[in-house]
């Protein structure tokens, strides 16, 4: 098996897999990456295991990152920093007072410093993080900027490693997965799974459901970051955009905005499967998966007896900033 760069341990792995009860037109399983931990739960911790290692090895003191008001990634970064004795500085897209709920609550309790900027300013957030790092440098502090969602060449190793874990899961559970489906929010989860499949020759289908922007936008994004990961691994960086399978059409009203249909769907899944998905990411993507299996199954599976593994990427703290939607 391919050797990845070293990582620190932040996540509780391997995460469990559950088979769903309902009839979906394929055998559906869920890998519970919402259970990678408690405070640090969700998919970002897998990426942070590699990024924090890189930062520590290079002698950094502060992790800078960014996201929306209730960013799960910003929260996971705050917790990771606290665990390894670093500081976190978060740049959140938010106007007005911060709500003291959900992910923001955790960030504040874990001692992260938070700077808020407007949606307009957020368009230049990479530059703003670089400037912040330069400010730290002036006072002799080394600050490590992590781009949105930790989706970069190093962050991708998190889900490359998760793919290898899934190959082990197949032996543990005695089931072979034909298709792996994940939410696409910044592209790193998809990129990592794709690379794991590609480099191992496992020959599965890796399907993403985008919950913001468009499939075309993410094909470009994944093309860029996945090829960079291949370069870091000294492999030919010759992936092409048409290799990525992204199912579009489930963004709804836009990033972090919900429709009644989406919330009703999540509530139905709670009752039928006893699993809680979040409205921003996994709820939309799982709805995309179930709807597409029904209407255009070829986009997900080759035949109805195929085994499909959906990655529950977390987002539970964000649910507890949006309870009102459910009543």
Ligand X SMILES: *Cc1c(COP(=O)(O)O)cnc(C)c1O
CB of 136 to ligand X, least distance (A): 25
Place of tokens 């579009």: 248
Q: By C-beta, is 71 or 136 nearer to ligand X?
A: 71
Judged by CB under 6 A, the chain residues 117 through 136 that form the site for ligand X are none
3-state class percentages of the chain: helix first, strand second, coil last, to nearest 5: 45, 15, 40
Closest approach of ligand X to the CB of residue 304, in Å = 27
Candidate residues 37, 42, 68, 252; the one interacting with ligand X per rule CB under 6 A: 42
Task: Please give the backbone phi and psi of residue 112, each rounded to the nearest 5 degrees, phi first.
Answer: -75, 150
Neighbouring CB atoms inside 10 A of 9's CB total: 9
Residue 185 sits in the site that holds ligand X (CB under 6 A): yes
| H/E segment holding residue 209 | strand 205-210
Nearer to ligand X, 53 or 72 (CB): 72
Binding flag, residue 72, ligand X (CB under 6 A): yes
Contact between 68 and ligand X (CB under 6 A)?
no
Only segment of 17-25, 39-47, 235-243, 299-307 that touches ligand X (CB under 6 A): 39-47
- In the complex with ligand X, the residue whose CB is nearer, 136 or 155, is 155
- Contact between 37 and ligand X by CB under 6 A: the answer reads no
Q: Is the peptide bond before 295 cis (omega within 30 degrees of 0)?
A: no
Number of residues that bind ligand X (CB under 6 A): 21
Among 152, 258, 282, 307, binds ligand X (CB under 6 A): 282
Closest by CA to 191, choosing from 143, 224, 144, is 224
Identify the residue among 8, 50, 315, 319 touching ligand X (CB under 6 A): 315
Our answer to whether residue 229 is catalytic in this structure is no
- State the residue for tokens 């899934």: 166
Strands of 71-186 (E only): list them.
87-93, 113-117, 143-145, 179-184
In the complex with ligand X, the residue whose CB is nearer, 258 or 282, is 282
- Sign of torsion over alpha carbons 180, 293, 315, 215: positive
CB contact at 8 A, 106 and 165: no
- Residue selected from 194, 198, 250, 281 as contacting ligand X according to rule CB under 6 A: 281
213 binds ligand X (CB under 6 A): no
Distance CA 223, CA 237 (A): 10
Q: Which residues are paired to 143 by β-bridges?
A: 62
Q: Which stretch binds ligand X (CB under 6 A): 55-63, 120-128, 183-191, 221-229?
A: 183-191
Instruction: Name the 3-class secondary structure at 235.
Output: coil
Residues that bind ligand X (CB under 6 A): 42-44, 72-73, 149, 151, 183-190, 278, 281-282, 313-315
Catalytic amino acids?
A: 71
């Amino acid at each position: 098996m391919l050797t990845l760069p070293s990582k620190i341990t932040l996540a509780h792995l391997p995460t469990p897999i559950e088979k769903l009860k309902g009839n979906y037109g394929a055998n559906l399983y869920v890998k519970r990456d919402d259970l990678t931990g408690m405070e640090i739960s969700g998919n970002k911790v897998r990426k942070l295991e590699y990024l924090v290692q890189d930062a520590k090895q290079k002698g950094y003191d502060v992790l800078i990152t960014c996201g929306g008001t209730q960013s799960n990634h910003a929260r996971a970064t705050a917790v990771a920093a606290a665990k390894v004795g670093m500081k976190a500085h978060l740049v959140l897209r938010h106007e007005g007072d911060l709500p003291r709920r959900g992910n923001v609550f955790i960030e504040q309790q874990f001692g992260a410093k938070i700077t808020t900027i407007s949606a307009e300013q957020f368009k230049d957030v990479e530059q703003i993080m670089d400037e912040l790092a330069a400010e730290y440098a002036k006072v002799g502090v080394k600050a490590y900027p992590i781009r949105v969602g930790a989706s970069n060449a190093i962050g991708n190793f998190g889900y490359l490693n998760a793919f290898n874990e899934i190959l082990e899961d197949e032996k543990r559970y005695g089931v072979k997965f034909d298709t792996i489906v994940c939410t696409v929010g910044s592209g790193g989860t998809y990129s990592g799974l794709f690379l794991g499949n590609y480099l191992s020759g496992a020959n599965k289908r890796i399907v993403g459901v985008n919950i913001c922007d468009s499939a075309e936008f993410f094909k470009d994004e994944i093309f860029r970051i996945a090829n960079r990961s291949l370069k870091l691994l000294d492999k030919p960086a010759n992936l092409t955009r048409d290799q990525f399978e992204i199912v579009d059409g489930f963004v709804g009203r836009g990033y972090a905005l919900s429709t009644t249909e989406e919330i009703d769907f999540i509530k139905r899944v709670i009752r039928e499967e006893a699993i809680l998905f979040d409205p921003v990411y996994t709820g939309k993507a799982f709805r995309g998966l179930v709807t597409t299996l029904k209407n255009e199954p070829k986009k997900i599976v080759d035949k109805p007896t195929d085994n499909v593994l959906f990655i529950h990427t977390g987002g539970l703290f964000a649910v507890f900033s949006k309870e009102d939607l459910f009543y």
